[in-house]
Structures are given as C-alpha cells and as structure tokens.
Chain A
C-alpha cells in the first residue's frame, strides 16, 4: 500500500477480557473483540503517527518479535485500517 505512516483512530477504549480484548471505537461507535497483537499495536501507537519501521522498533523494545515481523505487522495494520481502528496516511 502507498501508506507511509500510521496512527490510532482516537478515541478508543480497550478492556482486556481473558485472552481477548473488547475495544470501543469512538469514531464508528462499534465494538470490536480483538486478539493479540491488536491491543499491543494500538498501545504502541499511542497518540503518535509512526512509520512501519518506527512502530516495529517500539514493539521490538517491549516484546520478542517473531520472524518476518515486518510483514506480519504490515498485514495487521492493513486489517486495522479496514476496521477503522488505525488511520493510514
């Protein structure tokens, strides 16, 4: 995709429930029930606008990432953009 930066669509609320998290997304009024790594990605984005590399670096500082994490993160971000939880620019 042509997007170069990503930001979380604020405001949202995330509540951890056993293995999943329930997220209320203010812009859409929708509730999503999401799995790891979504809450972690949103938390890493915080209120900032980041490139894929910057976001990957932030996640890498807190977690041990799997092989080919960049492709995985890119795919997750595309899904989050489709849901509306992340804004790509």
Chain B
C-alpha cells in the first residue's frame, strides 16, 4: 500500500540518552493553520501549487518582518518575492531550509506572511494542503 511510516516519525531523532531535541525557537509558526468553515473544498497537490508573496492583489508591496504587507519602500521590510514559491519549497522552508534566494530574516518575513494567509487569498489552499515532513 502507501508508505505508512508516518506515525513513528512523530518523535523524531532520539539522542544517546533516549531523549530527543525540542526546537522551541525553530520556526515562527505555532499554528500551521486554523480550520475555517468551508462550502468549497480545496484539493491542491503540494507538488503543483504555488504561493505568491504577496498575493497578486497586493503585488509590488513589501513584506514586514512579522509578515504583514506594507507600503513599498518601508524601512526594515522586504521586497516582494520575484516569483511565487512552490509548495515544495515552502514545505522545506518550514522544516528549516531557507526559501530560495532569501536571507535569513527575509525568509522569516516571507514565512510569517505565508502563515498569515487566509481563505480566499492566493496561495492559501496550497499552504493549507502542505504537510510537515517527519523530522
């Protein structure tokens, strides 16, 4: 059948003492998402979906460190991503890699933007369908 080894990946890599590491400061994302009422359904594959940063309705605007969308040129904020990220790239970024072509702080800002995505915004269904890889 399918590879059903996901269950035992939950506890991650054990250290020598049988204890395992817990990254309290790893990714700024406690809630990956909160389920919202749906009349429609999203069925988007991780492999072929995209997340623009920001969404086309706010193209050209900057992304602040906390993920909010701010006016172009705002001090401390980051330029829009030149191309949409794929679901796969975001998935990897959530597990620790930087999004392609981003600095550490820029990566954090973009991830904060992505986790603020809401139903109806471009990229939300893609993000919603992401799953964390077992660590």
Contact = CB atoms under 8 A, between A and B. Distances in A.
A and B directly contacting (CB within 8 A): yes
B43 interface: no
Nearest to B21: A64
What DSSP secondary structure best describes chain B's contact surface?
A: loop
Interface residues of A, number: 31
Contacts of A63: 19-22
B2 to A, nearest CB: 12
B66 to A, nearest CB: 12
A59 interface: yes
A65 interface: yes
Interface string B4-15: 001101101001
B31 A32 contact: yes
A83 B30 contact: yes
Interface of A: 16-20, 30-38, 40, 59, 62-66, 68-69, 71-73, 75-76, 79-80, 83
Interface of B: 6-7, 9-10, 12, 15, 19-35, 94, 131-135
